[in-house]
Amino acid sequence: MSEYLLEVKNVSKFFYGLKAIDALSMKVKKGQIYGIIGPNGAGKTTLFNCITGIYTPEEGQILWMGKEIKGTAPHKIAELGILRTFQTIRLFSEMSVAENIMSGRHIKSKQKWYNGIIHTPAYYKDERENWEKVGELMEFFKLSQYATTPAGDLSYGVQRKIEMARALAAEPELLILDEPAAGLNENETLELAHTIKEIQKMGVTIMMIEHDMEMVMSLTEYITVINFGAKISEGVPAFVQDDPIVIEAYIGIDDEDES
């Protein structure tokens, strides 16, 4: 097995001849919190979509524990242990919070094809275990009081938590967070940072795109900076922060005010 959990090697993705990602490479170690930053439209979310199988990059390799996963269907990627949240929240908004989180248990559930028609003792055991896990996650994210509330009726901050709970329910190896702090107030952001640390302690590797620089610099252990689809810098937060190329890329985009 490779020393790295995830390796992105010279990956390029085109949209109608336009290069959205340009020969991008990065290596994520197990247990890391890995940050990806860059101006809007730099291709960060496109990269996440390539890793999670929503897009298939035209060039390069994506290695998961040393094995090529480029071109694998999204649901197979999830089965491998790569789970994600979305920049624009994508919950099953008419369904209750508990049911939303239960979707994360899908790949862990051992129900057989005939359990959709008839229930067996093994089904009851499996169903009970999965709902219990949902209960634990609702407690961890302080969502228990909303168990039966439709997810779409809740505030932005709560919805972000539901998305994370849903992804964690699948017991991922790698959790991919796409702008988890977007739309959160200051208190919620602090709580989020704490939660991400807690998730790391569970042994989950985390990759995140984030515009909140304060949070990125304090949380992440390694950062890749992307601009116009290409990597312009990488390193530990302290290095990236002072890299003149990074500073130049961010001139005119005052992130402090924007977020």
Partner 1 sequence: MSNINFNKNSVMAIGVLLVMGIFPLFVDSAWLAIGTTFLVFAVVAFSQDIILGRAGVFHMGHAMFFGLGAYTTAVLNVHFGWPILATWAPAVLVPLVVALLLAGPIIHLRGDYLLVATIGFNIIFIQVLQNNIFGITGGPNGIFGIDVVRVFGVELFEQTHMYYMAFILLGITLFIMKNLDQSKFGRAMFYINKDDVAAQSMGISIRYYKLYAFALGAGIAGAAGSMFAVQYSAVSPEAFDVISSIMFFTIVLVGGSASLPGVLLGTFVMFVLPEVFREFETARYLVFGLAMILTMILRPRGIWPVKFGNIPAFLKKDVK
Under the rule (CB under 8 A), what is the footprint of partner 1?
Answer: 52-54, 73-76, 78-79, 83-84, 86, 90-96, 98-99, 102-107, 109, 111, 113, 115-119, 123, 127-128, 131, 134-135, 138, 144-150, 166-167, 170
Closest distance between partner 1 and the C-beta of residue 237, in Å?
A: 28
Closest distance between partner 1 and the C-beta of residue 23, in Å?
A: 26
In this complex, which beta carbon is closest to partner 1, that of residue 149 or of residue 200?
Answer: 149
In this complex, which beta carbon is closest to partner 1, that of residue 23 or of residue 147?
Answer: 147
In this complex, which beta carbon is closest to partner 1, that of residue 18 or of residue 117?
Answer: 117
Helix (H), strand (E), coil (C) string for the chain: CCCCCEEEEEEEEEECCEEEEEEEEEEECCCCEEEEECCCCCCHHHHHHHHCCCCCCCEEEEEECCEECCCCCHHHHHHHCEEECCCCCCCCCCCEHHHHHHHHHHHHCCCCHHHHCCCCHHHHHHHHHHHHHHHHHHHHCCCHHHCCCEHHHCCHHHHHHHHHHHHHHCCCCEEEEECCCCCCCHHHHHHHHHHHHHHHHCCCEEEEECCCHHHHHHHCCEEEEEECCEEEEEECHHHHHHCHHHHHHHCCCCHHHHC
In this complex, which beta carbon is closest to partner 1, that of residue 85 or of residue 227?
Answer: 85
Closest distance between partner 1 and the C-beta of residue 190, in Å?
A: 24
In this complex, which beta carbon is closest to partner 1, that of residue 99 or of residue 221?
Answer: 99
Closest distance between partner 1 and the C-beta of residue 249, in Å?
A: 30
Comparing C-alpha atoms, which of 121, 124, 166 is closest to residue 143? 166
Closest distance between partner 1 and the C-beta of residue 82, in Å?
A: 9
In this complex, which beta carbon is closest to partner 1, that of residue 120 or of residue 218?
Answer: 120
Residue 38 CB-density burial (10 A; 0-12 exposed, 13-18 middle, 19+ buried): buried
Closest distance between partner 1 and the C-beta of residue 76, in Å?
A: 8
